[in-house]
Structure 1
Amino acid sequence: MPAPTIPPVAHYEPAPETKEEIEYATVPIVDFSKVHTPEGRAELAPQVRDAMSTCGFMCVVNHGLTQAQNDRMIDIADVPFSQVPEAEQLKFESKTKEDGNYKGYKPRQYWHIENGVRDQIHRYGVVRPGFEQEHPAAVQPLVPEMHAFMEHNQFNVLYPILRLLARGLELPEETLVEQHRFDGEGMTFLCCAKYFPRSAEDEAKTKNVWMKGHTDSSTISLLWNQPVVALQIMGPDGKWRYVKYMPNSIIVNAGSALEMLSGGYYKAAIHRVFQPPPDQHGYTRLSLFYFAYADDDVRLVPFGESPVLQRVGITRKYADEDAPTMRAWRSLRAMAYGDSATEKNENGDEEQVLNGVVLKYYN
């Protein structure tokens, strides 16, 4: 039988790695070569528990894809931007602010950053295969590979993480997996994102912030590490530090939905996108994300049956009877993000109130 034909794709040349002296954040590294046996999960569970209950960040290595497969996906991720004419892109523009849906294109200059400056981030979202989605002509031949990549993220990365998180709460391993069905109603999606350089004037107006400090609305966010150093995380000491590039690794962060489900035990990671170091100025930053959400009908109520939460206590954003569903929470966050109607508190951070919950944007 002949091998299936792989569609040719133009190669995206990433920026060279930075040589600048940088104080990097300390991000725990979790080796997924150990995740496939009960003994390995028993060893990894405390590492994941500690990482996600302190800063909400960790780095996964040995996740099952080779560097060559990773490179192929980055080449594919550039196609929606470099191979699709602007007029055709308009036909697939998302309606995020209208309905909270991430499907299709988010154009550049969609979000307000500061002082009238808008973002330079171009995104293309591919929802899970269970959803019907039309794609631009150049993207259509690549959809099978995109879906296969999504399956790898779901079954080989996300599900093991969810099992380890459940163990950290002393719950049955499948507790969180059962709330994240691959064929369920929800908005888990693959995101191709291309960050473009900005003018010196815009950098000055925003104090070099490309995307405001925030927490994700997801349960778990997976960022496939790439060489342009721009992601920063806020440490326990309140300082921002860059995340170091590690080839063929995945940066994992907890989102606000996981924080609510875990009663505040797992911390939603505070992060932002900042101007890269000087020797990477002028380069585009092409990234692949997998944003995981629980099924739409899951209510974001803490696992009160968790022995861990019974010992340490539960922190709630809502009374249990008022807790939103996953659909309501992610739609509300999606429609409100990038809105200029925020107020600054005494620390200079911006705040929004959504359904009685105060959201902060850290600058």
Structure 2
Amino acid sequence: MENGSRSFPVINMVKLEGEERREAMELLRDACENWGFFEVLNHGISHEMMDEVERLTKEHYNRCREQKFKEFASRALENGSKTGPIEDMDWESTFFLRHLPVSNMAEIPDMDDEHRKTMKDFAVELEKLAERLLDLLCENLGLEKGYLKSAFRGSQGPNFGTKVSNYPPCPRPELIKGLRAHTDAGGIILLFQDDRVSGLQLLKDGEWVDVPPMCHSIVVNLGDQLEVITNGKYKSVLHRVVAQTDGNRMSIASFYNPGSDAVIYPAPALVHKEDEEEAEVYPKFVFDDYMKLYIKHKFDAKEPRFEAMKALETVVNGHAIATTS
């Protein structure tokens, strides 16, 4: 396994405001084109808020979820010891928070008020960061400011939610993955990960590369929808979590995704019909239809999902879109 900590792209966002902006934008462009992942520092979210999110999230796991996970874990490892590697489940304890278009925060039964408010405030800051990053991507791509945000909007605005995960220590990591390899279905993903316990890896040039834990950083990766909109200029990348024997890894991944009825297709400015190599190769589809397919095939290759959407394209109001209805 390659250790990617020295070359993994890390962008200090303060440099985007000064004389080093050009170099920072070039690093961002390279990260998007060649990694599909990068890490941002000085992103505008206070260290105090991040420390509070981490404290409350870890306390919540210890209080409400640890015992349930131990019961699941003992059964899973007992079965795996008899049958060999476990291919149909992950070594993670997780729950989901929805922020937009409608929040479900009040419906999460075991969160106390302090935790609920802190996560709500954190989501507001992450939403701002996601939209700022999308505009930086627009600038690098030569798209007008706001293009990607508009492409995600749909009739009710974007879908925005958070997957809160813990990856407890695993005594038999050879039997089970923390999280199986996959690409993310959506738009832009912002991850606040544990800065002490590693495990997240991405596939680059055929090698699994560690995503380095860094204090108060946000890890960013690009989802399948940005690959479609950029017509393959940016690509979503396979990534996984390797179960560790020591430490309980915290992962708070927030997904800024298109609205359910948003129609996703390559940006016309990035499609050059006269150049066959850059001719439109990605389908046009409704995001919710893609998600229905993704849910069934999350851990399969993304290319067949794109091909399936292309095969389902039909003409609606003069525009070809994919539809499963």
Aligning the two structures, in what range does the TM-score lie when normalised by the shorter sequence? Answer: 0.7 to 0.9
Q: How far has the Cα of 1:32 moved from its partner?
A: 1.4
1:204 aligns with 2:174: yes
Q: How far has the Cα of 1:35 moved from its partner?
A: 4.1
Q: Normalization by structure 1: what TM-score?
A: 0.70
1:143 aligns with 2:116: yes
Q: How far has the Cα of 1:240 moved from its partner?
A: 0.9
Counterpart-to-counterpart distance in 2, 1:219 and 1:228: 26
Counterpart-to-counterpart distance in 1, 2:152 and 2:88: 37
Equivalences for residues 233-272 of structure 1 within 5 A: 233-236=202-205, 238-272=206-240
Letter aligned with residue 263 of structure 2: R
The alignment partner of 1:329 has SS state of helix
How has the CA–CA distance of structure 1 residues 33 and 184 changed in structure 2, closer, same or farther, with 3 Å as cutoff? farther
1:70 aligns with 2:50: yes
1:296 aligns with 2:260: yes
The alignment partner of 2:267 has SS state of coil
The alignment partner of 1:188 has SS state of strand
The alignment partner of 1:33 has SS state of helix
Equivalent residue number for residue 58 of structure 1:
38
The alignment partner of 1:253 has SS state of strand
Q: How far has the Cα of 1:34 moved from its partner?
A: 3.9
In the alignment, is the contact (CA less than 8 A) between 2:2 and 2:207 conserved in 1? no
Counterpart-to-counterpart distance in 2, 1:131 and 1:336: 26
Counterpart-to-counterpart distance in 2, 1:84 and 1:183: 37
- Structure that is richer in helix per residue: 2
CA deviation vs aligned residue, 1:251-292 (integer Å, no higher than 9, x gap): 11111111011100001122111134xxxx232111111111
In the alignment, is the contact (CA less than 8 A) between 1:233 and 1:271 conserved in 2? yes
Counterpart-to-counterpart distance in 2, 1:123 and 1:301: 32
Equivalent residue number for residue 232 of structure 1:
201
Equivalences for residues 185-200 of structure 1 within 5 A: 185-200=157-172
Q: Normalization by structure 2: what TM-score?
A: 0.77
The alignment partner of 1:268 has SS state of coil
Structure 1 residues without counterparts, runs of 5 or longer = 1-20, 90-106, 343-349, 359-363
Counterpart-to-counterpart distance in 2, 1:270 and 1:306: 24
How has the CA–CA distance of structure 1 residues 309 and 36 changed in structure 2, closer, same or farther, with 3 Å as cutoff? farther
Paired residues, number: 293
CA deviation vs aligned residue, 1:208-241 (integer Å, no higher than 9, x gap): x3222221112111111322110111122x1112
Letter aligned with residue 71 of structure 1: D
Counterpart-to-counterpart distance in 2, 1:182 and 1:33: 32
Letter aligned with residue 50 of structure 1: D
Equivalent residue number for residue 150 of structure 2:
178
Counterpart-to-counterpart distance in 1, 2:272 and 2:298: 33
In the alignment, is the contact (CA less than 8 A) between 2:52 and 2:118 conserved in 1? no
Counterpart-to-counterpart distance in 2, 1:263 and 1:197: 40
Equivalent residue number for residue 318 of structure 2:
none
Equivalences for residues 102-121 of structure 1 within 5 A: 115=86, 118-121=89-92
Range 309-318 or range 162-171, more displaced: 309-318
In the alignment, is the contact (CA less than 8 A) between 2:160 and 2:255 conserved in 1? yes
Identical columns (%): 21
1:81 aligns with 2:61: yes
Counterpart-to-counterpart distance in 2, 1:195 and 1:249: 19
Q: How far has the Cα of 1:301 moved from its partner?
A: 0.5
